[in-house]
Amino acid sequence: MTDLWQPSARELERQETRRSMSRRSLLIATVAVVVFFGAVILAVVSSPGWPNVRNTFFSVEHAKASFPEIWKGFWRYNVIIFLIAEPLILVLALAVALARQARAPWLTPIRIIAVVYTDLFRGIPTLLLVMLFAFGMPALQLRGVPNSGLFWSIVALVLSYGAYVAEVFRSGIESIHPSQVTSAEALGLSRGQTMRHVVVPQAVRRVVPPLLNDFVSLQKDTALVFVVGVLDGVWAAQDYGNYNFNYTPMVVVAAFFVVLTIPLARLTDWLQRRMAERERAGAR
């Protein structure tokens, strides 16, 4: 449309008001941030025990000295365990969630297994599972499977998180409106096809945020393997601390975990936004 619009005097005045309002918001935000965090930092630094805490937990030399071992343990175990366990968890969890949705009568045993599995493994503390598997399974002296603590810890993590994530998938599947299933059936799709092409794709999108939550949780729980003697980053930190009477390595390894989770969170945010833009044009 071609029109020769010039903002009216009132509109120009209004734009100026909006600008000054946003300047004011920015100012308030800045002051609030400075005051709040300034007060927190001041409270910590001025506390009587701070010099002691700084030397024990935030010592630069100890951080540098412990870094190589922590890096090695963290990369070789925590990251690798996560990378192996996560895809297995997703596959297992989706399979369990779908098994619970199965309606065919001959699949009833599968449904029962799925229900019992989630109830059982969700109820046992992950730490206990890791110990039970890593110490108990090798004792069975099974042939053809590794007896290492690492292997069985991964199995324990997969089974424990599989139960959690299966429930996340199930809630996603159940949140899809029945009309979607009806319209898929009206097109002649089988129940399996309906799940595969209509329900699950929508459900997965919906549960991405809680899934990320469980991913992050799993990343942290890779630290549990040190109780069965896997020499991961946390073990390295503790080892160093015990020799040198300094806890700085704990802070270092904590920073490793944080750094590992942040890119994942940003990636998920980005994926979510892209999906929303593509599917919900105009919705805000």
Partner 1 sequence: MSEPVLEVSNLRKSYGDRVVLADIDLTVSRGDVICLIGSSGSGKSTLLRCVNLLEEIDDGVIRFQGQEVSDPRVNRREVRGRLGMVFQSYNLFPHLTVLDNITLAPRKVHGVARAKAETRARELLERIGLAEKATAHPDRLSGGQQQRVALARALATEPALLLLDEITAALDPELVGEVLAIVRDLAADGTTMVLATHEMSFARDIATQVCFLDGGRILERGEPERIFTAPEEERTRQFLRRVLPA
What is the full DSSP assignment across 45-67?
HTSTTHHHHHHHHS-HHHHHHHH
Neighbouring C-alpha atoms within 13 Å toward the C-beta of 220: 11
Identify each DSSP E strand in the chain by its residue range.
Answer: none
11 sits near partner 1 (criterion: CB under 8 A): yes
What CA–CA distance (Å, rounded) separates 247 from 76?
22
Angle at 219 between CA 132 and CA 250, to 5 degrees: 90
- Distance of closest approach, residue 204 Cβ to partner 1, in angstroms: 24
- Distance of closest approach, residue 27 Cβ to partner 1, in angstroms: 16
174 sits near partner 1 (criterion: CB under 8 A): no
- Distance of closest approach, residue 279 Cβ to partner 1, in angstroms: 18
3 sits near partner 1 (criterion: CB under 8 A): yes
8 sits near partner 1 (criterion: CB under 8 A): yes
The runs of H, that is alpha helices, within 176-197 are 178-186, 191-193
What CA–CA distance (Å, rounded) separates 135 from 225?
12
* Interface residue with partner 1, options 5, 106, 243, 245 (CB under 8 A): 5
14 sits near partner 1 (criterion: CB under 8 A): yes
Q: Which is nearer to partner 1, 18 or 266 (CB)?
A: 18
Structure tokens at 85: 């366990």
Do residues 88 and 158 make contact, with C-beta atoms less than 8 angstroms apart?
yes
Q: 195: which residues sit within 8 A by CB, 6+ positions away? A: 98, 101, 173
The span of 16-24, 133-141, 190-198, 258-266 binding partner 1 (CB under 8 A) equals: 16-24
- Distance of closest approach, residue 3 Cβ to partner 1, in angstroms: 6
243 sits near partner 1 (criterion: CB under 8 A): no
Structure tokens at 20: 């000054």
Q: Which is nearer to partner 1, 5 or 245 (CB)?
A: 5
* Interface residue with partner 1, options 17, 52, 108, 193 (CB under 8 A): 17
18 sits near partner 1 (criterion: CB under 8 A): yes
Structure tokens at 216: 């992050």
Do residues 268 and 260 make contact, with C-beta atoms less than 8 angstroms apart?
no
273 sits near partner 1 (criterion: CB under 8 A): no
Do residues 173 and 199 make contact, with C-beta atoms less than 8 angstroms apart?
yes
- Distance of closest approach, residue 183 Cβ to partner 1, in angstroms: 18
Do residues 256 and 66 make contact, with C-beta atoms less than 8 angstroms apart?
no
- Distance of closest approach, residue 283 Cβ to partner 1, in angstroms: 12
Which amino acid belongs to residue 193?
A: Q
177 sits near partner 1 (criterion: CB under 8 A): no
1 sits near partner 1 (criterion: CB under 8 A): yes
24 sits near partner 1 (criterion: CB under 8 A): no
- Distance of closest approach, residue 138 Cβ to partner 1, in angstroms: 51
Q: Which chain residues interact with partner 1 by CB under 8 A?
A: 1, 3, 5, 7-8, 10-11, 14, 17-18, 21
